[in-house]
Chain A
Amino acid sequence: MGGLKRKSSSSAKTLAKSKKKKGPHLPNSILKVIANQKRPLNSDEEDDDVIGSDDEHGGDLYEYEEGVPEEESRKNNRYDRHDNYDYELPEDFEDENVESDDDGGNSDNDEAEGDDDDDDDRHTRMLQSLTGMPSAAFEGESKSKPVLFTEAYPEGEFNPTRDVLEGKNVLTEEDFLAPLEGTPGYQKTSKQIARMRKDTKHVVHAPLPKPQRERLERKAVIGLVDEEFSKWVHLVKKNREAPTVYFNQDVDLGYSTVGAIASEFQPRTEFEKKMASVLNDSEVSEAHRDDGARLLELNEVSMEDHIKDRNHIAKMRSLLFRHELKSKRIKKIKSKTYHRLKNKDLKNSSLGALMDPEMAKEEAMRQEAKRVEERMTLKHKNTGKWAKRMISRGLNVKYDGTKAAIAEQLQMNANLSRKMNSMRDGSSSDESDDEEEFNDGSDEDTPSRLIAKAKEKTLKALEDDEVPNAGLMSLPFMARAMKKKNEEANEEAKRALEEYEEWENSGGENSKKTVNVSGRRVFGATAKVETPKESRKDSDNFYDDSDSDNDMAGIEDNNIEPVRDNASPARNTITDTEKFDDDVAGNPASKTTFDVAMFASGSWKKMTGSKNTESKKASKKTPAPIPQAQDKKGSRDEESEDSESEAEEMVDGILTSASKETFEVPSQAELVNRAFAGDDVLDEFEKDKEEVLNQEVPKPEKPVLVPGWGNWTDIQRKRGISKQMVQKHEAEKKEWEQGLKTRKDARLKHVIISEKVDKKAEKLHTTTLPFPYTSKEVFEHSMRMPIGPEFNPSTIVGELNRPEVVKKTGVIIKPVKFEEVNPNDEVDDEHPRNHQKQKPKKKTSRRQGKVKSK
């Protein structure tokens, strides 16, 4: 009651405050969060102090004070008047549950108020004296927040009381055990419980809340899935990066030779085994290897054997003879009925079917047809008129004869509709048989046997702690985790063994009773990870739950591991790319040499080069052999000098009249100029060029005044050509100039290169870049090498032109199988994975060693 009052007054206070101060308005939820963050971090007392002080100051700058809602403020009568029921409980209101709910903790009581007050006073005084702080600081602790709890529902199994929820006054095992004291099983159970208490490992914790649990599960699952998938990354990457994927490595046509088949032979029957032992006898083989003498020795047959043999042969002979006689006699019988009956016999008997495959086939066919018919008509399945009638009238129960007839019919139906050859079913059910057998046996077995069996299994489990020495499990941390797990399992197994022994001693019967507790509640995820069989067999709650606990631990372990695993491929890829870059950079930056065939043979070049220098030297050293070579023109280089002398030489080879002219070079040039003075070739060419340029890059027309067009003529005359037109013309001119500049022959005065589009040749170019390329340059560089057999050595042609997927027709492409791939391995086209030998085509092989240069 008092609490309520206080609350209302404080709210009134806050209202008053809100009118005074207005800080930044923070939503309530944020405020709450802030408060929560503050509170649990510090120790209780200080915390309370802080909060108290906060209250004192009446809210910080960042405290949000909710204003009065507009409806309530009644400012301008915008809203209908309504009553505010909050905090306006009548004065005489009494909460009935208040009394029943208090538990001496924090909550105050009306009746005990006085006492409490006294106590509080004393307490605060004591605190004051101890800490030297004003009493106001401690008042908040005791008085500010009395809690009032009301229970909405009556207490029950599903609605425990508050103190139970808070972990107080909980029933303990002792409470349950106390009344049992003195009963015969008491000693043991108490012992067990004591052990259980000691055993901290197997303490069953309360299951985590569902969302949390699921989160953990998801986390674990993601880890596992990641790990599983990251295994495949290398494989997928490798397949992606491979220039060619081969799908023909799995083509296995079986044995190719008789020898191969024979080598696979394994003796199965006794006779075969005997034969094998004899054939593979080292003595015999040795004898064969040495010489015939030993062989003869081995060949020796004892007298007894010989007699036995002989007798056997004699017996067989006599049998054969008798059989012959009999068949002869039968053959002689001429009676048709006899033969008919005999044949019928043969046919009906399964023996006949066995003897004659044809007959067997026929028989099978007939059987099948019958079966189909039966399945179609359901003739024998009580669907007949008679059967229905019998059943409907209950006659089949009444009369044994009818009953038998109906049963017979059903049997017939079952026989007919059963599939004939059920050979496969037997083999397939073999696996399941074992388990069933085990289960069945356990059901029927006496408890003692059961226990013995369990014990045996446990021992076995204890014995084989094999540590895998390869694969993921061999990694050190995995090994450690495994070891830990194993140890736990062993401990558990030992404990179980102890228990078994106990049970065996005590007779086992009552233990079984205690063990099978029915209707237990299952909390948390049921563990699906395999548990040791013995613990499941006679599982009690503890073990099962402990299993789940273990499971958790395992999951956590796993969580760590995939993270590491993820990191490693990343590193690998990095190294990969680095390597790749290195490769690219490592390629010798060869200079572009466009002329492939120009200087095909380097040797010749070299040789002549040396020779040339020599000759040049010689020419420099020795004074010019011809005096005329001393030129008037000093500026000419050596080459021209050469040519000069050559001209002279040529002259002295043939004509002498012309030679005189060549000496006077300037005069010659003059002469030439004079000779060609008439036709101004260069000018003409320039004109031509202009013409061509005009055609290809048309010159913009100059704007002309058209009288009366667009305006009156007098105005036109006044204004001249419009500004717009001039501007346009200028822009066009600029464009034209640009066009001229970008031409290939812009700087070559003596050349006109046509830039007309050849429409016919356009089909030889691509208009768009083919897909993966984004740059024209790269594309054109990649196109530079011809890949045909005419241009490449036959050893490379196959590789250059191999399709992306190599597959023989008819080969079934199976899904990718997991295989260990070294991520650092480079994808090498030279050695395809399947090591399949490339059969060179006939044509290319013919062109062995042929290279065509462009």
Chain B
Amino acid sequence: MEVALEDNNLMEKVLPPDEQEIDVELEAKEKKYLRGEGANLESVKDKKLKTQLASREKLYGKSAKAAAKIEKWLLPASAGYLETDGLEKTWRIKQTDIAKEVDLLSSRNQYDIVLPDFGPYNLDFTASGRHMLAGGRKGHLALVDMMNMNLIKEIHVRETVRDVAFLHNDQFFAAAQKKYSYIYARDGTEIHCLKERGPVARLRFLKNHFLLASVNKIGQLHYQDVTYGDMVASIRTGKGRTDVMEVNPYNGVVALGHSGGTVTMWKPTSQAPLVQMQCHPGPVSAVAFHPNGHLMATSGKERKVKIWDLRKFEEVQTIHGFHAKTLSFSQKGLLAAGTGSFVQILGDSSGGGYSRYMSHPMVKGYQVEKVMFRPYEDVLGIGHSMGWSSVLIPGSGEPNFDSWVANPFETSKQRREKEVHLLLDKLPPETIMLDPSKIGAMRPSRRKEKPTRGEIEAEKEVAIEAAKSVEMKKKTKGRNKPSKRTKKKKELVENAKKTFPELEEKNIAGKKRRIGEDAAAELPTSLKRFARKN
């Protein structure tokens, strides 16, 4: 058996620098950074544009090449892996076996914190993976520095805590408590009480938009902007109570799992769900998103885990045999599922679909509440009924962190700087959409939705009301007769009314013409000349 964790490069094979291999590798990376193909320049007729685009493409190519080279040479740490030889199976390897193989620093990440009193723990990590927040069901909140295993702050709120979530950095965190949710500072002081949301079941923070999303007991979804405290949207899902909620890190769309087996996806600017998917026949117990945003994993109570492709909204894979109370994707795409006292890690090593990669049985009787991979580490955090534990999952974390995105070794000064940058780069809530790459593109052409009769009537009413409430000017003596005034007012109202039937007629006329055209289009060519032209 061979085990390698990202941070120790002891096991790394040193290949002779073969030029060709490097080339192939670079090419693959380049492709990644090119973000898809350029437009087909053959179809461009404008010569000037063609040359412009060609030069642009050249620059893009150059950029991608440079990026690939940087990745190749400046990001040297490679991801960890787990390799077996012979009949060994990776999922048979126990944590104790791994502990023997890895270096001391990594083996420190295997531990169990036993806190039996305050019941199943929820976990959250900061984006850099430096800090962890643990929220015990019975009111225990702990903020831990994972680098040196230092307990930064520990408070007890003496209330049910249903969920915890970090805000944009480790300075603030939110906790969903019995009646309201609260925002606490790093030192445990309560900063805000978010009463508007009601008893919240799940809390998630949208990092790029600075929105704190929550779903409460009666199935209402709230989006609150934490920069200025406004409630951006409060949406009634109409699907009943749920405590399955996850954010798609790619586009900021929030997914809710419902008892009817549907998963709905939401954005703050629309009251109706963007997508509704019937994923399972039974209630959905967990949802998770792949970091690239194209894969979603759902688990139903009927002992099935399904992987979905969100580009096509089609099922990619169904994994039979178990259901997960909690699901989590790692940065490298490993999927962790926790049920009862058992944690299963699935991997898509061959590209053919998720299959067993590792498993971790906990002590019998422990109930896993939450599994979550620690970013930039090969570590899986498990919150359960008896505290929380941490296990090593080789190959789960991204080996090279980007200090401009998330820096585990951030100094306070850097953190402050970063905070300002984050605020400056904050995205407005309307940028949340299924395909954010369409921002800046052409507006999708669509049929104009015909207003229903009721809407038209309502509009008409409003127009009439507006006409009635127009303040008449006070004119000079003699011109200010009440009779004239009433006449004028009547005229105004009539005018307001007039616009509506006219519009309807116009629509009809337009339709008539279209029908005629259609008829002409449907006829065989030989008979077309006889079609009536009107």
Q: How far is the CA of A681 from the CA of B452 in the complex (A)?
A: 30
Bound complex: CA of A765 vs CA of B436, how far in Å? 11
Contact with B along A588-617 (1 / 0, CB 8 A): 011111111111111111011101111100
A321-329, A552-560, A753-761: which lies at the interface: A753-761
CB contacts under 8 Å to B, within A766-780, are 766-767, 769, 772-780
Given A685-B260, A849-B70, answer yes or no on A745-B292 (Cβ-Cβ < 8 Å): no
Contact in complex: B39, A793 (CB < 8 Å):
no
Instruction: List chain B residues, Cβ under 8 A from A613.
Output: 350
Q: How far is the CA of A567 from the CA of B39 in the complex (A)?
A: 34
B351: chain A residues within 8 A (beta carbon): 605, 609
Chain A window 118-155, contacts with chain B (Cβ cutoff 8 Å), 1 for yes, 0 for no: 00000000000000000000000000000000000000
Residues of A within 8 A of B446 (CB): 755, 757
Q: Are B38 and A593 touching (Cβ within 8 A)?
A: no
Q: Is the CB of B344 within 8 A of A650?
A: yes
Q: Is A750 an interface residue (CB 8 A)?
A: yes
Q: What's the Cα separation between A604 and B331 when bound, in Å?
A: 13
Flag whether B531 is at the interface (Cβ < 8 A).
no
Selected interface stretch from A171-179, A515-523, A783-791? A783-791
Query: Is B34 an interface position by the 8 A CB rule?
Result: yes
Min distance, Cβ B517 to any Cβ of chain A, angstroms: 10
Interface residues of A toward B: which range? Answer: 35 or more
Q: How far is the CB of A456 from chain B (nearest CB, A)?
A: 59
- The answer to whether B54 and A681 touch across the interface, beta carbons within 8 angstroms, is no
B260 touches A792 (CB 8 A): no
Question: Contact string, A737-761, partner B, CB cutoff 8 A, digits 1/0?
Answer: 0010000010010111111111011
B39 contacts A777, CB within 8 Å? yes
Chain B residues near A392 (CB-CB < 8 A): none
Nearest-Cβ distance from residue B179 to partner chain A, whole angstroms: 31
Minimum CB–CB distance from B394 to chain A (whole Å) comes to 10
Task: Please judge, given known A-B contacts A772-B52, A776-B442, A792-B63, whether A611 and B404 are in contact too, CB under 8 Å.
Answer: no
Decide yes or no: A611 and B84 within 8 Å by CB, A751-B276, A774-B45, A853-B32 being known contacts.
yes
Asked if B110 is an interface residue, CB under 8 A from chain A, the answer is: no
Nearest-CB residue, chain B, relative to A753: B275
A647 to B337, CA, bound (A): 13
Q: Cβ of A850 and Cβ of B402 under 8 Å apart? A: yes
Q: Chain B residues near A761: list those with CB within 8 A.
A: 269, 430-431, 433
In contact, A681 and B78 (Cβ under 8 angstroms): no
| Residues of chain A lying within 8 A (CB to CB) of residue B514 | 731
A168 on the B face (CB < 8 A): no
Q: Using Cβ atoms and an 8 Å threshold, which residues of chain B touch A745?
A: 313
The docked-state distance in angstroms from the alpha carbon of A608 to that of B443 is 43
**Residue B115 is within 8 A (CB to CB) of chain A in the complex:** no
User: CA–CA, A748 to B314, complex, Å?
Assistant: 8
Select B443's contact among A681, A762, A852, beta carbons within 8 Å. Answer: A762
In the complex, A615 Cα to B1 Cα: how many Å? 12
Complex partner residue of B355 from A596, A600, A642, A755, CB under 8 angstroms: A642
B41 touches A766 (CB 8 A): no
CB of A725, distance to nearest CB on chain B (Å): 12
Contact B405 A852 (CB under 8 A): yes
Q: Report the separation of the CA atoms of residues A589 and B39 in the bound assembly, to the nearest whole angstrom.
A: 11
Decide: B447 and A739 in contact? CB cutoff 8 A: yes
Closest A residue by C-beta to B421: A790
Q: Which residues of B in the span 390-445 have a Cβ within 8 Å of any Cβ on A? A: 395, 398-399, 402-405, 429-431, 433, 437-444
Question: Which A residues are in CB contact (< 8 Å) with B270?
Answer: 754, 756, 758
Distance in angstroms between the alpha carbons of A784 and B53 in the assembled complex: 12
Cβ of A783 and Cβ of B87 under 8 Å apart? no
- Does A676 sit at the interface, judged by CB under 8 A? yes
B137-170, CB < 8 A from A: none
Interface-central residue, A622, A640, A642, A754, by most chain B CB under 10 Å? A754
What distance in Å separates the Cβ of A789 from its nearest Cβ neighbour in chain B? Answer: 10
CA–CA, A363 and B9, complex, Å: 89
Chain B neighbourhood of A692, CB < 8 A: 272, 276
Q: Are B54 and A750 in contact (CB under 8 A)?
A: no
Is A851 a contact partner of B274 (Cβ separation < 8 A)?
no
Known A618-B86, A672-B302, A779-B441; contact A640-B320, beta-carbon cutoff 8 A: yes
Total interface residues on B, using CB and 8 Å?
Answer: 124
**Do residues B281 and A681 form an inter-chain contact, with CB atoms below 8 A?**
yes
Q: Mark A644-680, 1 if CB is under 8 A from B, else 0.
A: 1011011001110000001001001000100110010
Complex CA distance for A827 and B361, rounded to whole angstroms: 64
Are B54 and A851 within 8 A (Cβ)?
A: no
Q: Which residues of B contact A649 (CB under 8 A)?
A: 91, 359
Contacts of B437 in A (CB 8 A): 784
Confirm or deny: A84 has a beta carbon within 8 angstroms of a beta carbon on chain B: no
Q: Which of A241, A751, A792 contacts B313 (CB 8 A)?
A: A751
- Across the interface, do B277 and A751 meet the contact criterion of CB distance under 8 Å? yes
Task: Give Cα A601–Cα B332 distance, bound, in whole angstroms.
Answer: 9
Distance in Å from the Cβ of B382 to the closest Cβ of chain A? 14
Name B67's contact: one of A755, A847, A851 (CB within 8 Å). Answer: A851
- State whether the Cβ of B100 lies closer than 8 Å to any Cβ in chain A: no
Asked if B281 and A758 sit within 8 Å, CB to CB, the answer is no
- Chain B 77-105, CB-CB to A under 8 Å as 1, else 0, gives 01101011111011100000000000000
B66 within 8 Å of A by Cβ? yes
Of A599, A602, A643, A776, which one neighbours B319 at CB under 8 angstroms? A643
Chain A CB within 10 A, most for which of B36, B56, B359, B361? B36
A854 within 8 Å of B (CB atoms): yes
Instruction: Report the bound CA distance from A607 to B78 in whole Å.
Output: 11
Known: A590-B37, A609-B350, A685-B278. A646 touches B361 (CB 8 A): no
| Chain B residue contacts of A748, Cβ below 8 A | 313-314
A401 to chain B, nearest CB (A): 84
Do B342 and A653 touch (CB < 8 A)? yes
Chain B 37-68 per-residue mask, 1 if CB under 8 angstroms from chain A, else 0: 11111111110111111111101111100110
Q: Taking A600-B398, A605-B351, A668-B303 as given, write out 17 further A-B residue pairs in contact, using a Cβ cutoff of 8 Å, ordered by the A residue number.
A: A597-B32, A598-B290, A598-B292, A603-B25, A613-B350, A643-B320, A650-B322, A676-B302, A681-B261, A698-B450, A731-B518, A756-B270, A776-B442, A782-B39, A800-B59, A851-B402, A853-B33
Query: B-contacting residues of A (Cβ < 8 Å)?
Result: 240-241, 243, 580, 583-584, 587, 589-605, 607-609, 611-615, 618, 622, 639-640, 642-644, 646-647, 649-650, 653-655, 662, 665, 668, 672, 675-676, 679, 681-682, 684-685, 688-689, 692, 696, 698, 727-728, 731, 734, 739, 745, 748, 750-758, 760-767, 769, 772-785, 790, 792-793, 795-796, 799-800, 827, 829, 847, 849-854
- Offer 18 A-B interface pairs, CB within 8 angstroms, sorted by A: A643-B319, A643-B320, A643-B356, A646-B321, A650-B359, A739-B447, A760-B429, A763-B430, A765-B441, A766-B442, A772-B52, A780-B442, A781-B36, A782-B56, A783-B440, A850-B403, A852-B405, A853-B33
